[in-house]
Amino acid sequence: MPVQLTPIDRAKYAAARRAVDLVEDGMKVGLGTGSTAAWMVRALAERVRDEGLRLTCVPTSVRTGDLGRELGLKIVSLEEAGWLDLTIDGTDEFDADLTLIKGGGGAHLMEKIVATASDRMVVITDASKEVKTLGHFPLPVEVIPFGWQASRMLIEELLNAMDVMGTSARLRMNGERPFVTDQGNHILDLALGRIGNPRQLSLALNQVPGVVENGLFIDICDAVVIGYGDGRVEMRDIASGTVEHERIVFEEPDNIFKDL
């Protein structure tokens, strides 16, 4: 039965297909987490099957690692791989400077470590994630379980001195229990509305006792690939200042998405 994709899913797939064209034989590649990154993992596995690419892949979450293994990718830890050539990941928001908010899937700690251990980070997304000013999407902050309430109070107090619109920090839940990251931590989602100075906020948050890492990615992303539902893709490289436009030709859904 053909799989009927929404325009957003087609946009994500188009961006993923373009991004995996950047992968070359012999590379060590970081694999992001989330719905858009899942399209990328599938597209990358398709290239490995069809072209015989020899890749070493480092996942940013348990679920991405499980998907990669299921699709036949060589999955190793970052410790085993060492330095990476390229990381491809999604984002929850991005601005003109390619500053990101990540962590909607609860994996921003591993995502940030893997991205910064790479020569290059490329973000894949659809056009709806682009914003003039970050902050509409809640900013995730990973905290250790011990004393998380105290960490939350300190964060909310800190936010009063920051250039933001909101100051509430809510514990992320998974049903009736707190959400637990792959590292065994909790996440506080900050409803900020607007982040006027992401760099200042990131530095301040990471000074709060109990905070492990926040979801602001600053000076980490090198390029963004934006997909559209009709197959168009736009690739912006912040280092070179170039913008490229292409169109991805979709195969028959029965062939591309038969394993979904």
What domains can you pick out in the chain, each with its CATH number?
7-128+219-256 (3.40.50.1360), 139-213 (3.30.70.260)
Given this model, what pLDDT does residue 41 score? Answer: 98
Q: Which amino acid is at 82?
A: G
How much of the chain, in percent, has pLDDT values that exceed 70?
95
Binding residues for substrate: 33-36, 89-92, 102-105, 129
State the pLDDT at residue 5. 85
What does DSSP say about strands 100-101 and 216-217: parallel, antiparallel, or unpaired? antiparallel
Name residue, tokens 């020899």: 54
33: Cα separation from own chain's centroid:
6
pLDDT value at position 3? Answer: 59
DSSP state, 34?
Answer: S
Which residues does residue 101 pair with via DSSP β-bridges, in sequence order? Answer: 93, 216
The CB density around residue 170, as the number of other CB atoms within 10 Å, is: 12
Average pLDDT value for residue range 61-73: 98
pLDDT value of residue 251: 66
Phi-psi region of 46 (alpha: psi -120 to 50; beta: other; left: phi over 0): alpha
| Spatial separation of the C-alpha atoms in residues 204 and 48, rounded to whole Å | 42
Please report the pLDDT score of residue 260 as a whole number: 43
pTM metric for this prediction: 0.94
**In the predicted model, what is the mean pLDDT of residues 112-127?**
98
Q: Which residues does the annotation mark as catalytic?
A: 111
Spatial CA neighbour of 120 closest among 79, 77, 89, 95: 89
pLDDT tens figures, 150-159: 999 999 999 9
Angle at 30 between CA 25 and CA 32, to 5 degrees: 130
Any bridge partners for residue 202, and if so which? none
Enumerate the H helices of 57-119 as residue ranges.
62-70, 78-81, 108-116
Nearest to 158 by CA among 101, 207, 194: 207
Q: What pLDDT does residue 4 have?
A: 75
- The mean pLDDT of 191-213, rounded to a whole number, is 98
- The whole-chain average pLDDT of the chain stands at 95
